[in-house]
Chain A
């Protein structure tokens, strides 16, 4: 499977799971006064940037192979 597609699906899952977990199940959970949904989405965004840079090489190799 295309590495970019795998990474994007993973990000979508983490993004929607964050909303479900911290907006629906635990809407009042906080750390340092900031809701957990905010922390969680920031973590997903940072992970997304780092992950996408890491996976760029694999995408190139996968596309050149196909």
Chain B
């Protein structure tokens, strides 16, 4: 057991639970407060909270492992540049209208918007996909928690996963969006600090990038370039996938609804985009290069961050860095759990089972759903054998395939109608699943087929059927009007 790291990890957990308890009083009773954080969140807090929701176990463990194995160009293109562009386009096209939508209708999920824009069937399909995708996304987070927990506590991976899972689910149940946003803000700064911090320490340890990179290239000659064993379509596909994910993922869209104004929501996305770019480009290069030099034959590439940290940081800083990893896992897990709970309670329970349910009852149902998802995901994490980076990469692409086209068309194309929306969501996700399982294209290139299919479904479905009602057109126009 590593005592210093353990103490710091425990302090970190206690701080998160403390924040949840503090905000519990403010966030308990009304939908606007629980799901929308009272729409009081400013630019920097929301910017870092969104960054936290994006950065996950995959960013600290899985993707960094891919950088070690496939090179810096792969992760820079796939995760740094593409997520930044996704946030920027979201800021330009989606953030303002969606923030106005939440203000007008007091609704806080993407499927609420789809229900209103495209009808109940599309809203239900969206909820179902979120309830499939997001718990699956939580699984690799808990695996990452298990790796970090096992490192710190020296306990078995199984117990580490259970411990981390129970703490995370517990604090989301307590506080809702307000506590999640504030803890995510702190976690975002922690993650950025420790990713860049370790990278800079690694670079200076080797006497600068000019010394480090040639040594890394001696171990992996493709560290800076395109890896010859990876198809160019994989590079293009993962880039488009992450782009579309950052633009349309429901757990990030939910954060736009919490902004205190349309302008604050927009600027927060610029903060998120800039932070993500620096994190993935500057953070990864030093750590992955140092790992190549220090551990040329690393067996489990998911451990890249942990082995470099273990080598270069003193115990006290190691403890804080482990807290950074736990923060990455926690911030994504809580956002996903919250989004899945909101989908079920607001869009399935309240709509189909009990339309007259009060806000309090809906929140209670959401908490039960989140607890159940917590138990299921902990169980799945204990039995998962795939690499964290691969699982997350696929889920990211599935999400982008389903939601990006209907989101943009719903906001910007007045002719988009119920049929177009429904076939676009279902067609995009269905095509992604079919292409992936039939292995028609290289890994991560599935979205290059599923996204155009989603677009085609939207255009053909809308143009071949009756245009949307005047009321719907007016609703879309309203979303683009200022104060």
Using a CB–CB cutoff of 8 Å, the interface residues on chain A facing chain B are 2, 4-5, 7-8, 11-12, 15, 19, 23, 27, 30, 32-35, 37-38, 41-42, 44-46, 48-49, 51-53, 55-56, 59-60, 63-66
Q: Find out whether the CB atom of A38 lies under 8 angstroms from the CB atom of B263.
A: no
| Nearest residue, chain B, Cβ from A61 | B482
What residues on B are CB-neighbors of A53 within 8 Å? 267, 270
9 contacts between A and B (CB under 8 A): A4-B92, A48-B85, A48-B273, A49-B88, A52-B88, A52-B91, A52-B273, A56-B270, A63-B262
Which of A46, A52, A66 is close to B482, meaning CB atoms less than 8 Å apart?
A66
Q: Find out whether the CB atom of A63 lies under 8 angstroms from the CB atom of B84.
A: no
Q: Return B79 CB to nearest CB of chain A, in Å.
A: 11
How far is A49 from B81 in the complex, measured between Cα atoms in Å? 11
How far is A49 from B73 in the complex, measured between Cα atoms in Å? 20
Digit string of B411-439 for contact with A (CB within 8 Å is 1, else 0)? 01000000000000000000000000000
Q: Find out whether the CB atom of B273 lies under 8 angstroms from the CB atom of A45.
A: yes
Residues of B in contact, count (CB < 8 Å): 40
B37-90 interface (Cβ within 8 A of A): 72-73, 76-77, 80-82, 84-85, 88-89
| Nearest residue, chain A, Cβ from B91 | A52
How far is A15 from B239 in the complex, measured between Cα atoms in Å? 10
B277 interface contact, C-beta 8 A: yes
Q: Return A38 CB to nearest CB of chain B, in Å.
A: 5
Q: Return A18 CB to nearest CB of chain B, in Å.
A: 10
Looking at B156-164, B185-193, B224-232, the stretch in contact with chain A turns out to be B224-232
Given known contacts A15-B85, A63-B482, is B263 in contact with A55 (CB within 8 Å)?
no
How far is A55 from B269 in the complex, measured between Cα atoms in Å? 13
| Nearest residue, chain A, Cβ from B214 | A33
Q: Return A56 CB to nearest CB of chain B, in Å.
A: 5
